[in-house]
Amino acid sequence: MTEIVSKRSDIQPLKCLIVDDESIAVRGISNYIKKISFLVQEDSCSSAAEAVEILKRKEIDLMFLDISMPHMTGIELLETLENVPLTIIATTYSEFAIEGYRLNVTDYLLKPYSFERFSQAVHKAREIFMSHIILQNCGEDYKSNLFIRQGDSFKRISWEEILYAEAMQNYLKLYFKGKTIVIHQKISSLEELLPYDYFFRIHRSFLVNISHIDSLSGGYVNINGRELPLSKQRKVELLKSVVLKNLISK
Amino acid sequence: MKNDILKRIGYKTFLVIFCTGVVFLFWIQLLNQAPVIETIAFVLCIFIPLLLIAVYLSNYILPKVMVRLKKEAIIVFFIIASLLMSLIFALTVKGFSLLEKKNIFEPSLLFCFTDTLSLELLKAIPSVIFINLGFCGMRFYREHLKQEKIKHEFQLKFLQEQITPHFMFNVLNHINTLMQEDVNLASTLLIRYSDILRYQLYNGRKELISLNQEMEFLKNFIEIEKVRWEDKLVVSCSWKIDDNEKEIPPLLFVNLIENAFKHVSRTSSEKGFITITFEQHKNELELMVINSKSIIHSQKNECSGLGLENTAERLDILYPGKYKLFKEETGTTYIVKLNIIALT
């Protein structure tokens, strides 16, 4: 059994950043972080602008973010950031939960929250942080055994069921029929793991399973009712190497 | 019930039906006293100008005067209109009896007694006043209902917009945190917050409250905000109150103060300040709130005007024409000043 993706050390804790304009709220999160063995507080700040600077300078694995802050809200921060770490929103506003979901946040804590609820959220974050696809190579059964590592457990998946994968900076979202899984892996490394003949990178952020493509139209690829963008450079290649080849083989 | 009928058929349609009815009934009374054509001409000559004036007075002048609340003006308008209408009435009667004398119309029972013009005028005045009272009363009732409705809607809005839930949950979150590290501070915060909550729930619904109670509430609010922002903010207050028992409507100032805390610059790199001065002398009151503004230019226009608009709307109802709400923005500060010149 060989693991192609390098295994992250379990002992290394997640480096956290707290962004909240009220220092008591920062201390509240800080106190909770101290109680969780796999978290360590790297830094804290009171505005989105400061957060941008810190994220440029330091490596942050998990960010706790308030929404209502002067000048720039937490939501705006998430929209402007290029490289978003795993994010847990901690706010008093319940009405931004849907926005948060759109921006792929890990969890949404409503102030005030209990330590149990906090712990649940950070465990979810850790699960995503630890999860990546591992390939079990069993000689002849080439590239057929894929596992998703979630914390200490492994979950078997078959690549035929993957519809497509969407990149979100250091993470990616795997779409199956009826469910999605977020894993901590770059889309390029996933591309290496999956059978080359069946998966095609149609865009910087999208890797699709060719057998699930419903239609191609203009600059878009339709899969499972969603329109995915098809970049110009890849369009020709997709048509040539994939669609035509498949047609001929039939 | 009456209001429902008015709503369904429309106020104007109702007026037309009502006027037609009055004219018709009056005409029936005259039918057996003179030829049909003469009675129709007579009734129309009297009622068309009379009703037009009455409708104009009640529908156009009355609402305008009611808004500006000049009670004397409506009486003047009422007298002028009534005199004008009486004159038209008397002249029409005189005119028609003249026409009968000159045999253009046949002599009838209508004008068997020839009174002088001034006597006709006197006779007309009571009925004309009655007509005007009827029209104006109807309109007044309608306007009154409308204003009551606006007032109630506003009251509801105001109750909903008392200190935001955002503030409340943040305070609860702080209490939750402080309980782990500073139990005494947590307890102080909790007690202050209960006072605020009690004030909002019970006194906030009253029409008037003593200045003393309102000040206690504002001080509690400011103390909580101070705890929230710790050393990022310097808050200085001055309260000069002559008469603690003076009565004012509750929760009138908290929005202005809350706004200052919301928009003040307060990051660890930019320390902010808020200065609040409150003065009450006899029937006059002045509140000035100054807060520092961030130098970093905010990309979007923060909705700082919103709280002020609501306050102004409420002041318009409570102290129409007797207050001044003034705001000024400089490069580094934001100033709001409220003057009320006639507390009741």
Instruction: Give the pLDDT confidence score for residue B116 in this predicted structure.
Output: 74
Interface test with B, best of A26, A92, A96 (most B CBs within 10 A): A92
B189 contacts in chain A (CB < 8 Å): none
For A69-151, where are the alpha helices, taking DSSP H only? 74-80, 97-102, 115-130
Structure confidence at residue A196 as a pLDDT band (50, 70, 90): confident
What are the tens digits of pLDDT across the range A179-189?
Answer: 888 888 888 88
Segment B221-234 mean pLDDT:
90
Find the range with the poorest average confidence among A4-13, B23-32, B148-157. Answer: A4-13
State the pLDDT at residue B114. Answer: 61
Say which residue, B291 or B151, is predicted with more confidence.
B291
Q: Please list every residue in chain A whose beta carbon sits closer than 8 Å to the beta carbon of residue B232.
A: 23, 46
Longest dimension (CA), chain B: 108
B-interface mutation test, from A24, A27, A32, most B Cβ less than 10 A away: A24
B218 pLDDT band, cuts 50/70/90, is very high
Chain A residues interacting with chain B (CB cutoff of 8 angstroms) = 21-25, 27-28, 31, 45-47, 49-50, 68, 70-72, 92-93, 110-113
β-partners of residue B278 are B239, B287
Query: How close does chain A come to B300, measured CA to CA in Å?
Result: 8
Q: Which of A51-55, A126-130, B192-196, B273-277 has the lowest mean pLDDT?
A: A126-130
Same fold? A2-136, A144-248: no
Query: Which residues of chain B make contact with A68, given a CB cutoff of 8 A?
Result: 166
Q: Domain A2-136 sits in which CATH superfamily? A: Response regulator (3.40.50.2300)
Which of A25, A68, A70 comes nearest B166 by C-beta? A68
On whether ipTM exceeds 0.85, the answer is no
Tokens of B257: 């103060």
* pLDDT > 70: percent of chain A: 87
Structure tokens at B155: 């009251």
The Cα B220–Cα B198 span in angstroms is 12
pTM: 0.67
- Is residue B62 within 8 Å of residue B74, measured between CB atoms? yes
| A63-82 per-position pLDDT tens digit | 999 998 878 899 999 988 87
List, in order, residues 6 or more apart from B194 with CB less than 8 Å away: none
Domain boundaries of chain A, sorted by first residue: 2-136, 144-248
Can you read off the two tokens belonging to residue B165? Answer: 């839930």
B216: pLDDT strictly greater than 50 = yes
Tokens representing residue B138 in the block? 């109807």
The pLDDT tens digits of the residues spanning A203-221 come to 888 999 988 888 888 788 8
* Rounded distance between C-alpha atoms, residue A90 and residue A66, angstroms: 5
Which residue did the predictor score with more confidence, A118 or B60?
A: A118
Average predicted confidence (pLDDT) for chain A? 84
Are A50 and B165 in contact (CB < 8 Å)? Answer: no
Q: Which residues contact B211 (CB under 8 A, 6 or more apart)?
A: B241, B243, B244, B245, B246, B247, B248, B280
B298 vs A6: CA distance, rounded Å: 44
Chain B residues contacting A via beta carbons under 8 Å: 165-166, 169-170, 172-178, 180-181, 227-230, 232, 263, 265-269, 294, 296, 298-299
pLDDT in tens, B52-99: 888 888 877 777 777 666 667 778 888 888 888 888 888 888 888 888
Closest CA to B54 of B130, B113, B124: B130
Phi and psi (nearest 5°) for B66? -65, -40
Does A110 sit within 8 Å of B169, measured CB to CB? yes
Query: In this predicted model, what pLDDT tens digit does every residue of A30-49 receive, in sequence order?
Result: 999 999 999 999 999 988 99
| Cβ within 8 Å, pair A50-B267 | yes
What does the pLDDT average to over A116-142? 79
For residue B97, give every residue at least 6 positions away whose Cβ sits within 8 Å of its Cβ, in sequence order, or none: B110, B111, B114
- Would the pLDDT of A5 be above 50? no
Find the CB nearest A24 among B228, B294, B296: B228
B254 has which bridge partners? none
Residue of chain B with shortest Cα separation from A28: B177
Provide, as residue numbers in chain B, all residues whose Cβ is less than 8 Å from the Cβ of A46.
232, 266-268
**Nearest Cα residue to B330 out of B273, B289, B291, B288:** B291
Residue B181 has pLDDT above 70, yes or no: yes
For residues B328, B330, B333 and B338, what is the CA-based torsion angle, rounded to 10 degrees? -10
A23:B232 CB<8 A? yes
CA distance to partner chain A, nearest, from residue B56 (Å): 51
Q: Considering chain B, what percentage of its residues have pLDDT values greater than 70?
A: 87
CATH 1.20.1600.10 describes domain A144-248: no
pLDDT of residue B109: 67
**Helices B36-56, B117-160: crossing angle, 10 deg rounding:** 40
Instruction: Give yes or no for residue B1 having a pLDDT over 50.
Output: no
Query: Mean pLDDT across chain B, nearest whole number?
Result: 82
**Nearest residue, CB atoms, A28 vs list B166, B176, B296:** B176
Q: What one-character DSSP code corresponds to residue A95?
A: T
